[in-house]
């Protein structure tokens, strides 16, 4: 969503590199580029003015003028200001002292409230809570049925006494849901309310009635991040009419410009608490302003990546794979490779995972064009092998490769590529696991590149030359030995210029040295 903004900011910062000092013209030009980038990203004009003003003021201050690298200091300032307009700190849910905690969702129709209710319930369930979903959206066709289906997928109970489709009292359903949660000992209640195509008096009144009936601990306003400036207007109107405690952004994986995400928190003064960036129920998490700013500036989001890996990876299985790479648990096989690949797939789209790494913005086109089905083809090839072939890929000869390609519906060349790349990847991973680094890189210990080798100290072993053989003629060999004995060895009898004894020795006058060098020369 923030691809355009990221690219524009990256180009702006690129113009500052290599400058030891920033002039007023440089600061003004940078501020102008940032302003254009934010406006093109559909950020609200008041937010743009405040943001650019803060950047210019800090850029003229001491922190930049005395910095060793002003360009990096400007990037730091922009990062800090992005974090500020995104809300500053991560805002977490407030839980009631006496359960159940009541969370009310509200927003426009089509913003994704019903799906988001199930995502929030699943997230809370993974945090150790016992949520109950309440179907209080009785206006939209099949809204109740959709919530029941999503609740079943999430493994969360749904309270739905009314069929919906215009039948039933939403206020009574919301009140009954809280009572049901108390009776069945659920510690969190999530109330899904009806939306409208626009902000109107009926919508506001119904939301106020539900709020007054259940007295929610948190009221969350769900905003579609793809609708642009209208998201800010709707959020402000709902804040004035009903009030809420936090904002939830949906559809952050879309291709819209995303300015609403940068504007809502600053305009309304209410923090963005959660973000949804996909269709799966697991594509949902807390909104971290600092991490989002890092993504926009192409600094990556390693903390989120690590958290996802910790939730997904089997620790015991990962430990076994690591032991094999260090040579302590047998060979790392194609079976292990496939298991690790399946663990990564559980984390989500590979393009999204790679996008969390720093500096991947320059490879955005490649990531966007990456075919996720390539992983399925690799898995099909490995699964078409016998257990013996997976354990020892070296036995896969020509006939076996042809059989594997037919079984997996691929070409023989695909099988060849997979096997060859597996051996290369295993060699690299084993070298890295043993602390040797990447094979073939020059000047690194334990590597085979220039200045490497097994010696590990950056020095090549001296090459042993072949000994010079003497002549086969005894008389000629005796003459050679006599000449070699008469030849001076090393510094024994040899002069500093390497000339044989008896030849004319050069004198100091021959070098035409300056007069002041005479004191360093031996006296004649």
Q: How many residues does this entry show for the chain? A: 524
Q: Judge whether 195 is annotated as a binding position.
A: yes
Per-residue model confidence (pLDDT) at position 390: 87
Q: Judge whether 157 is annotated as a binding position.
A: no
Q: Judge whether 108 is annotated as a binding position.
A: yes
The helix/strand/coil state of 305 is helix
Q: Judge whether 251 is annotated as a binding position.
A: yes
Exposed, middle or buried: residue 206 (CB in 10 Å: 0-12, 13-18, 19+)? buried
Q: Judge whether 110 is annotated as a binding position.
A: yes
Q: What is the DSSP letter of 438?
A: S
Whether residue 141 lies inside any domain: the answer is yes
Q: Of the candidates 401, 379, 378, which has an alpha carbon nearest to the alpha carbon of residue 389?
A: 401
Q: Are residues 261 and 289 in the same domain?
A: yes
Q: Report long-range pairs for 425-428 (Cβ below 8 Å, ≥24 apart).
A: 425/337, 426/325, 426/332, 426/337
Whether residue 92 lies inside any domain: the answer is no
Q: Judge whether 113 is annotated as a binding position.
A: yes
Per-residue model confidence (pLDDT) at position 448: 38
* DSSP states of 113-163: HHHHHHHHHHHHHHTT--EEEEE---SSTTHHHHHHHHHHHHT-EEE--S-
Q: Are residues 125 and 228 in the same domain?
A: yes
Q: What is the DSSP letter of 223?
A: E
Can you read off the two tokens belonging to residue 253? 């994986």
Q: What CATH number has the domain bearing residue 355?
A: 1.10.260.30
Separation of alpha carbons 288 and 486, rounded Å:
84
Q: Check if the beta carbon of residue 104 is closer than 8 Å to that of residue 137.
A: no
Whether residue 499 lies inside any domain: the answer is no
Per-residue model confidence (pLDDT) at position 183: 92
Q: Judge whether 406 is annotated as a binding position.
A: no
Q: Are residues 181 and 317 in the same domain?
A: no
Q: Are residues 245 and 279 in the same domain?
A: yes
Q: Judge whether 193 is annotated as a binding position.
A: yes
Residues 6 or more apart from 309 whose CB is under 8 A from it?
347
For residue 107, is it left (φ>0), alpha (ψ between -120 and 50) or beta?
A: left
Which structural domain, as residue segments, surrounds residue 315? 306-433
Whether residue 394 lies inside any domain: the answer is yes
Whether residue 167 lies inside any domain: the answer is yes
Q: Are residues 143 and 179 in the same domain?
A: yes
β-strand pairing of 188-192 with 101-107: parallel
Pick from 433, 453, 472: which residue ends a domain? 433
Q: Judge whether 114 is annotated as a binding position.
A: yes
Q: Are residues 374 and 391 in the same domain?
A: yes
Q: Judge whether 414 is annotated as a binding position.
A: no
**Which residues lie across from 167 on neighbouring strands?**
164
Exposed, middle or buried: residue 348 (CB in 10 Å: 0-12, 13-18, 19+)? middle
Pick from 373, 405, 433: which residue ends a domain? 433
Q: Of the candidates 118, 170, 109, 172, which has an alpha carbon nearest to the alpha carbon of residue 147?
A: 118
Q: Are residues 356 and 289 in the same domain?
A: no
Q: Are residues 73 and 144 in the same domain?
A: no
Per-residue model confidence (pLDDT) at position 355: 66
Q: What CATH number has the domain bearing residue 10?
A: 1.20.120.140
* DSSP states of 369-434: T--THHHHHHHHHHHTS-HHHHH-GGG--HHHHHHHHHHHT--HHHHHHHHHHHHHHHHHHHHHHT
Helices (H) and strands (E) in the chain, counts: 22, 8
Whether residue 134 lies inside any domain: the answer is yes
Per-residue model confidence (pLDDT) at position 359: 64
Q: Are residues 56 and 114 in the same domain?
A: no
Q: Of the candidates 338, 315, 435, which has an alpha carbon nearest to the alpha carbon of residue 391?
A: 338
Per-residue model confidence (pLDDT) at position 159: 93
Residues 6 or more apart from 64 whose CB is under 8 A from it?
22, 58, 70, 73, 74, 77
Whether residue 235 lies inside any domain: the answer is yes
Q: What CATH number has the domain bearing residue 140?
A: 3.40.50.300
HSE toward the beta carbon, residue 145, CA cutoff 13 A: 5
Q: Are residues 310 and 294 in the same domain?
A: no
155, 431, 497 from 501: Cα distances, Å = 98, 55, 11
Residues 6 or more apart from 197 whose CB is under 8 A from it?
108, 109, 110
Q: Judge whether 252 is annotated as a binding position.
A: yes
| 269-311 pLDDT, tens digit each | 888 888 888 788 888 888 888 887 777 777 666 676 676 676 6
Separation of alpha carbons 214 and 224, rounded Å:
25
Q: Are residues 242 and 156 in the same domain?
A: yes
Chunk the chain into consecutive blocks of 10 residues (it has 524) and report each block's average pLDDT, rounded to whole numbers.
73 75 82 85 84 86 69 82 83 89 87 89 92 90 90 92 84 92 92 76 83 91 78 81 87 67 80 84 85 75 68 70 67 81 74 67 65 82 90 87 90 89 81 57 40 41 48 63 58 46 52 53 54
Q: Are residues 65 and 126 in the same domain?
A: no
Pick from 417, 433, 449: which residue ends a domain? 433
Whether residue 506 lies inside any domain: the answer is no
Domains in the chain, number? 3
């Amino acid at each position: 969503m923030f691809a355009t903004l990221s690219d524009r900011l990256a180009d702006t910062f690129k113009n500052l590199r290599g400058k030891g000092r920033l002039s007023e013209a440089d600061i003004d030009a940078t501020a102008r580029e940032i302003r254009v980038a934010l406006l093109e990203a559909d950020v609200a004009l008041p937010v743009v003015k405040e943001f650019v003003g803060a950047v210019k003021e800090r850029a003229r201050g001491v922190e930049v003028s005395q910095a060793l690298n002003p360009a990096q200091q400007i990037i730091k300032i922009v990062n800090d200001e992005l974090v500020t307009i995104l809300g500053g700190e991560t805002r977490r849910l407030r839980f009631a002292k006496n359960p159940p905690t009541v969370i009310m969702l509200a927003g426009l129709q089509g913003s994704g409230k019903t799906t988001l209710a199930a995502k929030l319930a699943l997230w809370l369930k993974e945090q150790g809570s016992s949520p109950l979903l309440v179907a209080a959206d009785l206006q939209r066709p099949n809204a109740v049925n959709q919530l029941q289906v999503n609740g079943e997928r999430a493994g969360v109970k749904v309270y739905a006494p009314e069929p919906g489709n215009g039948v039933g009292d939403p206020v009574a359903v919301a009140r009954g849901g809280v009572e049901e949660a108390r009776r069945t000992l659920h510690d969190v209640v999530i109330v899904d309310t009806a939306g409208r195509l626009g902000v109107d008096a009926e919508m506001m009144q119904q939301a106020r009635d539900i709020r007054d009936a259940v007295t929610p601990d948190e009221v969350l306003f769900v905003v579609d991040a793809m609708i642009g400036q209208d998201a800010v207007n709707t959020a402000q109107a709902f804040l004035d009419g009903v009030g809420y405690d936090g904002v939830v952004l949906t559809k952050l994986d879309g291709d819209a410009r995303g300015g609403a995400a940068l504007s809502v928190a600053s305009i309304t003064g209410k923090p963005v608490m959660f973000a949804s960036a996909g269709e799966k129920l697991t594509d949902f998490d807390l909104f971290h302003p600092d991490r989002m700013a890092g993504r926009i500036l192409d600094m990556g989001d390693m903390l989120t990546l690590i958290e996802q890996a910790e939730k997904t990876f089997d620790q015991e299985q990962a430990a076994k794979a690591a032991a094999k790479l260090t040579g302590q648990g047998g060979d790392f096989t194609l079976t292990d490779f496939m298991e690790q690949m399946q663990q990564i797939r559980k984390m989500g789209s590979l393009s999204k995972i790679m996008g969390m790494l720093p500096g991947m913005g320059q490879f955005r086109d490649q990531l966007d064009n990456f075919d996720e089905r390539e992983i399925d083809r690799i898995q099909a090839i490995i699964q078409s092998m016998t257990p013996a072939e997976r354990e020892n890929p070296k036995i896969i000869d020509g006939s076996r490769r042809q059989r594997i390609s037919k079984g997996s519906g691929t070409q023989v060349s695909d099988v060849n590529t997979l096997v060859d790349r597996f051996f290369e990847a295993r060699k690299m991973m084993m070298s890295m696991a043993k602390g040797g680094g990447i094979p073939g890189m020059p000047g690194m210990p334990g590597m085979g590149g220039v200045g490497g080798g097994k010696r590990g100290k950056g020095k090549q072993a001296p090459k042993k030359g072949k000994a010079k053989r003497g002549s086969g003629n005894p008389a000629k060999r005796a003459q050679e030995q006599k000449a070699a004995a008469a030849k001076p060895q090393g510094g024994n009898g040899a002069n500093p210029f390497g000339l044989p004894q008896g030849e004319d020795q050069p004198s100091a006058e021959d070098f035409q040295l300056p007069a002041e060098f005479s004191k360093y020369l031996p006296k004649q």
